[in-house]
Amino acid sequence: MNIQDPSTARTTKFGIGQPVLRTEDPKLLRGEGRYTDDINLPGQAYAAIVRSRHAHGIIRSIDTDTARKMPGVLAVYTGADIAQYGPLKSNLPFKSRDGSDMKKPRRQALPSDKVRFVGDPVACVVAESFQQAKDAAEAVTVEIDPLPAVTNPGEAVRAGAPALYDDAPGNIALDFHYGDANKVAAAFAGAKHAVKVKLINSRMIVNAIEPRAAIGIYDSTKERFTLHTCSQGVMGLRAGLSEILGVTPDKLRVLTDNVGGSFGMKAQPYPEQVCVLHAARALGRPVKWNDERSSSFLSDNHGRDHEQTAELALDDAGHFLALRLTGYGNLGGYMGAMAPQPPTLNVVRNVISLYRTPLMEVSTKCVFTNTSFVSPYRGAGRPEGNYFMERLIDYAAAVTGIDRIELRRRNQIRPREMPYKAASGSTYDSGDFPVILKEALEVSDWKGFNQRKRESKKRGLLRGIGLGCYLEVTAPPNKEMGGIRFEPDGNVTIVTGTLDYGQGHATPFAQVLSEKLGIPFERIRLVQGDSDQLLAGGGTGGSRSMMNSGTAIVEASAKVIEQGKTIASHALEASVGDIEFANGRFVVAGTDRAISIMELADKLRAGMQLPPGTPTSLDVRHVSEGVPAAYPNGCHVAEIELDPATGQIEVMKYSSVNDFGNIINPLMVNGQVHGGVLQGIGQALLERTVYDDEGQLLSGSYMDYTMPRAHNAPDFTVVSHPVPAKTNPLGVKGCGEAGCAGGLASVMNAVVDALSVYGIKHIDMPATPERVWQAIREAQNKQ
């Protein structure tokens, strides 16, 4: 009889690679989660924000007298009241092509001079109840001299366009350039084929389930702030806010509990957080603010909004010679903390994707407009870059007559070329791109498409199929904490500085620790959202959480084992050199004398006597230096049906093959892919952000902005083809943003494929029924 060690059985069931259910789901499904809105403190007051109704104008006066006299009102603050605080800003060190520094106009939490978008906060009202604060906010009279507005970056740079800032001529914050323009120009001049297409990566409103919220607290005896807020990482937010407040980081504690989605939007400081912290100190009581959906449409950072003219040069055999992007990135009315990164450096890193492209040039003007400010949104330049390349390849295939699959095959980087130094400066360490393409064609039944197309035609419908290959460069290294704490109640706590805002970190992190130390999975807890318990933390973003926290946990586990060997040598009365560790047990080599790590922890809690100089705890507070970027990649295939009479599109079939390196939890990875793909479908077909000529947001509610719903989700086929990364000890590559990267390109390529019967080679996102119907009518009129 084969009797398996119980600790080994637990590791097998809950270790790396197992589809373990998310541990937090039962609590969340029962409504027992703890979000910022669930927190109510004794004596708390409530804040409401007064927002500009003009997209652009000079503030002449703000009359708060009536509001101050209303029932329950405790205070009304304007820009003059909080002028002592520092600005909200970007710390990115970008330089323009002429070597000058990026323009970073000052943004105060509440402006005193001008408003620059509809929804710009201009005052904060604090009252005994939320309704009283809201009523009083309506009574604040803001006199603004309206100025002309501009919402499109291409129009904002034209002579005579409204100027948002005196110190940003032409509304240009950054004139970004990457590459050797002369070499790229020479490659195009000598190319057999050169294709050009203008591509718009449309503006997105983030629409997380949980609106932004914040509760400010001030302890006058300790002169210390505490902020409860939804975020993507408490350490980064603490650093940014403490600088704004003018205090050292130890004078601010940031706490984040459950978070109902973010996708990049909750990663940076916002004016409302500054307002509630100021009010808490001024009033001597906690102050709570909760956004409403109508104002979140206006004031949350938006995503994407890039316009690029994409060009590809090819030789007579269809090999890529050079890639050139020239265009704009819309920053909105203010400089977001990460705003210039997506349309510049992140596009550079990702646009070449998995194709052998010797030369590239990217020229992007980052431009201020009278719209809500733009910052990262799921992928932050990664899906955009891959979309530009994949649409360009399909366009080139249509122009040159080379089959779109064959064109990709001829230019894909081969495994034998690894490590591969790309023209972007990145070095790809691993991947098997040709095999993944082959698998994706098989899984999607690409060969059977023509039969399905004929069946659709019998019903008066057009059918299209499209693929999107992608390669993403994950976020760069950052220091990350890997704390392991053996608690008095017998549980073990992981402390790390990433932050779960829907991904479900507790489960895969516990799987890693369970495998490395043999700790029972059900005994493992996770702390991420308390800055007082962290030594470092890069937060969550850029598909790097498992790479960074996973590495920190692996390194911390090694330290626990080393400390444990010393302690176990005394418990087992053996020399340290004879102690081995495996399957959660410290064993005297060559004997059956052993003690499990949990038993050793129990002995330490019970007061185990140890010689001086011996570690007295298994606890570790470790900071990992971080690991290099990884390169998740894959190929997605979308199949759509299109009704030419109405322009209505339905995604009928969706398949993907992905290389995420070693997979910790396949169940959760598939969920991440599903979510990312559906967001990609939303952007490709449904979601449209519209401002009028005066800068008013016309798509400011769910009546006007179409979010994807359950019926928009196709059946997903998700296949894993892991090629372990060589850049981190777990061999993982990151998966959180890949669905968007594959989804945008595959769906839009499928739409254009269906429309190709009319000679249409391109249509911009979103391919709404109105746009599709109009494109068909225009094409028919030309025929």
Strand partners, 204: 303
Tens of pLDDT, residues 35-74 = 999 999 999 999 999 999 999 999 999 999 999 999 999 9
End-to-end CA distance of the chain: 78
Alpha carbon separation from 458 to 415, 452, 455, 462, 463 (Å, rounded): 43, 10, 5, 9, 11
Q: Classify residue 350 by its DSSP letter.
A: H
- Out of 138-152, 601-615, 651-665, pick the least confident: 601-615
Mean pLDDT of the chain: 96
Q: What pLDDT, on a 0 to 100 scale, did the predictor assign at position 385?
A: 97
Strand partners, 719: 657
| Strand bridging mode 45-51 / 121-127 | antiparallel
| Strand bridging mode 633-642 / 620-624 | unpaired
Class of residue 149 by CB neighbours under 10 A (exposed 0-12, middle 13-18, buried 19+): buried
Instruction: Enumerate residues 6+ apart whose C-beta is below 8 A from 1.
Output: none
Strand order from edge to edge, sheet including 45-51: 73-78, 121-127, 45-51, 287-290, 213-219, 224-229, 252-255
Query: Rounded to whole angstroms, how far apart are CA atoms 658 and 721?
Result: 6
pLDDT at 657 over 60: yes
Alpha carbon separation from 545 to 22, 104, 479, 498, 508 (Å, rounded): 16, 30, 12, 6, 10
Q: Residues 415-420: what's their mean pLDDT?
A: 97
Which backbone phi and psi does 236 adopt, to 5 degrees? -65, -40
Class of residue 235 by CB neighbours under 10 A (exposed 0-12, middle 13-18, buried 19+): buried
Query: Rounded to whole angstroms, how far apart are CA atoms 407 and 315?
Result: 12
Structure-block tokens of residue 632? 């998740």
Q: Using the structure block, give the residue that is written with the tokens 């993403």.
A: 472
Q: What pLDDT, on a 0 to 100 scale, did the predictor assign at position 345?
A: 96
Half-sphere exposure at residue 442, Cβ-oriented, CA atoms within 13 angstroms = 8
Tens of pLDDT, residues 689-725 = 999 999 999 999 999 999 999 999 999 999 999 999 9
Strand partners, 728: none
Structure-block tokens of residue 351? 């646009």
pTM exceeding the 0.85 threshold for the entire prediction: yes
3-state secondary structure 291-344: CCHHHHHHHCCEEEEEEEEEEEEECCCCCEEEEEEEEEEEEECCCCCCCCCHHH
Q: Residues 195-218: what's their mean pLDDT?
A: 97
Q: What pLDDT, on a 0 to 100 scale, did the predictor assign at position 459?
A: 97
Res. 4 pLDDT band, cuts 50 70 90: very low
Alpha carbon separation from 95 to 98, 329, 364, 614, 652 (Å, rounded): 8, 15, 12, 53, 45
Contact by Cβ (8 Å): 685, 746: no
User: What H or E segment, with its residue span, contains residue 289?
Assistant: strand 287-290
C-alpha dihedral (301, 303, 306, 310), degrees to nearest 10: 160
Q: Residues 250-263: what's their mean pLDDT?
A: 97
Q: What pLDDT, on a 0 to 100 scale, did the predictor assign at position 12?
A: 66
Class of residue 37 by CB neighbours under 10 A (exposed 0-12, middle 13-18, buried 19+): middle
